[in-house]
Chain A
Amino acid sequence: MYSHRIVLHFPENVVEDPLICRLARRYDVQFSVLRAEIEENRGGMMVLGLTGDNGVVRDALEFLEGHGVEIEPLQQDIRIDADTCTHCGACVGQCPTGALFVEERDRTVALDSEKCIACQQCVPACPYQAIQVSFH
């Protein structure tokens, strides 16, 4: 069973093609759209949490690649500056996936990178400018 988070980069010429809709109809895979945006002069970008039988997923990804979509594993780099973070928790309330959470033991703020979708909502919420997210 395949279950991963991937980033799809759509070239400009397929932005208006309903590829994800076609993917859903044609292949027995489950996915949730974690993030999607049209990048200026760069086509589209989508982060998918994709689950399915290995073979079916391989076919599904080949279908996308056949239409010019570049696929790569989600790699986000979220950095919380340990010297600057006061462990208040302001970021925790913004995090849509629960990747940022408060440790019950000592009430410090912790990060579960596996759950992070690099949405960056935590960045402006930090009163101490302690969080940086780079996304690639």
Chain B
Amino acid sequence: MGKTVAEINEKIRDGAAVVVTAEEIIDIVADRGVAQAAREVDVVTTGTFGPMCSSGAYLNVGHSKPKIKLGGGTVTLNGVEAYAGFAAVDLMIGATALQMDDPRNRVFPGAFEYGGGHVIEELVAGNEVELVASTYGTDCYPRKKLATRIRLEDLNEAVLFNPRNAYQNYNCAVNLSDKPIYTYMGILKPNLGNASYCSAGRLSPLLNDPLYRTIGIGTNVFLGGGTGRVAWWGTQHDPEVPRSEAGVPRGGAGTLALIGDLKKMSSRYLVGVSLRGYGASLSVGIGVPIPVLDEDVCRFTAVTDADITAPIVDYGRAYPNATGEIIGEVSYEELRTGKITVNGHEVRTASLSSYPRAVEIAETLKQWIADGRFLLSQPVQPLPRPGDGYTFRPLKERPPANDTENAGTDC
């Protein structure tokens, strides 16, 4: 006999819901069996915290006197380029945007000390951020220049809107080349000098609901220390990747697009990131509650690090050239020991996502639900699931119509 989200919410309102984290459910299922665990536990909370480049925030800064039309102009926030291709005073700041005068990788490897992720962190921390705009004048928006300081609390709307977060599993990155390389997976030393992975494993939201039975569009989540919603499936969502017999994807698969009120978030869970030689980004804290509707849902939440494997990928050659080759597979249980064996060599492992902070998020969300401050929501539409035929496709390059360089010539 199953439970419904409405029934679980009733228990949450009554303070009677049994809420555990995705770590705790593992022992509960092992001790009591899945049938009893499914009856006794109502909600399992998950968590993850790591760099998620496809993140950003849109802001409405309000109208100046006289009015200015930022749309179509150029705008910077603390020198970082913002996107202004909207209406008069709507802006978007992306996590990987950089300051105009950042040397990028001209001096390699670039430091990328300050970017859009840092601007978002500063706004959330309550710091003043400098907005400088230059645009064209119109009859209704005559002003052409604006330089002012903004604060989060003065903005009309400030909304975190991330096109792709919470990747369901990810690569374990190594470097087979003979030079150090600087990647979004961190610095990879030559000749298998280290291995980098980036997933909360058994605590990771989509790895606890691998077939997207409970997480869907509209799901209420912990986002950046506040609350948010699953707005859509994330970009590059790929439910058709190979899976284990238990349904766990054996590589990057599902993703979530998330949205939430930036004003209610915290700079503990939205942190600017500098990846040497790669760029700026934003680490995002996410926690998704999973309603234990039935035994199947419960069994999935009891996934362990031993059940989840990551493909080992050479970022020296295979990744940049999109060859799709993998060197092997490794479980998160092995990765967390600190060393793995690749091609007969012992290789030190390190995580780019923070497991302690993922635990903190799962615990916080558990507390919110136990206190009746956070209710679950029934998705309004499922995410594309395995078998739906939805896949992540590469770009098919076709030369532009008048591109003589790529199209070739007879002369």
Contacts and interface: CB of A to CB of B under 8 A. Distances in A.
B113 A89 contact: no
A91 B276 CA distance: 12
A3 B157 CA distance: 62
Contacts of B276: 124-125
Contact of A124 (B187, B272, B353, B355): B187
A102 B338 contact: yes
Given A90-B352, A107-B356, A128-B273, A101 B338 contact: yes
Contact of B275 (A91, A106, A127): A127
Contacts of B51: 127
B49 interface: yes
A30 interface: no
**Chain B CB within 10 Å, residue with most, of A93, A102, A108, A128:** A93
B111 interface: yes
A90 B196 contact: yes
A88 B357 CA distance: 8
B350 interface: yes
B232 to A, nearest CB: 27
B352 A92 contact: no
Interface in B305-351: 336, 338, 348-351
A112 to B, nearest CB: 14
A102 to B, nearest CB: 6
Contacts, number: 72
A70 to B, nearest CB: 32
B103 to A, nearest CB: 15
B55 interface: no
How many residues of A sit at the interface, in one of the four size bands?
10 to 19
A128 B268 CA distance: 12
Given A102-B338, A125-B276, A88 B187 contact: no
A81 to B, nearest CB: 12
Given A93-B348, A94-B187, A127 B356 contact: no
Contact of A129 (B113, B336, B348, B351): B113
A91 B349 CA distance: 10
A86 B186 contact: no
A124 B111 CA distance: 8
Interface residues of B, number: 33
B350 A90 contact: yes
A106 to B, nearest CB: 6
Contacts of A87: 354-357
Secondary structure of the B contact surface, majority rule = strand
Secondary structure of the A contact surface, majority rule = loop
B283 interface: yes
B243 interface: no
B274 A127 contact: yes
B5 interface: no
A91 B196 CA distance: 11
B220 to A, nearest CB: 25
B119 to A, nearest CB: 15
A78 to B, nearest CB: 17
A127 B121 CA distance: 14
B274 A106 contact: no
Contacts of A92: 338, 348, 350
Contacts of B127: none
Interface string B174-211: 00000000000011010000111000000000000000
Interface string B246-288: 0000000000000000000000000111111000010100000
A88 B189 CA distance: 18
A107 B355 contact: yes
Contact of B271 (A94, A107, A124, A128): A128
Interface in A72-122: 86-94, 101-102, 106-108
Given A124-B187, A127-B352, A88 B50 contact: yes
Q: Considering the complex of A and B, which 5 residue pairs feature the smallest CB-CB distances, nearest first? A: A93-B350, A93-B194, A86-B354, A89-B351, A88-B354
8 contacts: A86-B271, A86-B283, A93-B195, A93-B349, A102-B338, A125-B276, A127-B273, A128-B273
Interface of B: 49-51, 109, 111, 113, 186-187, 189, 194-196, 271-276, 281, 283, 336, 338, 348-357, 359
Given A86-B283, A92-B338, A127-B352, 7 more contacts: A87-B354, A90-B186, A94-B189, A127-B51, A127-B186, A127-B275, A127-B283
Interface of A: 86-94, 101-102, 106-108, 124-125, 127-129
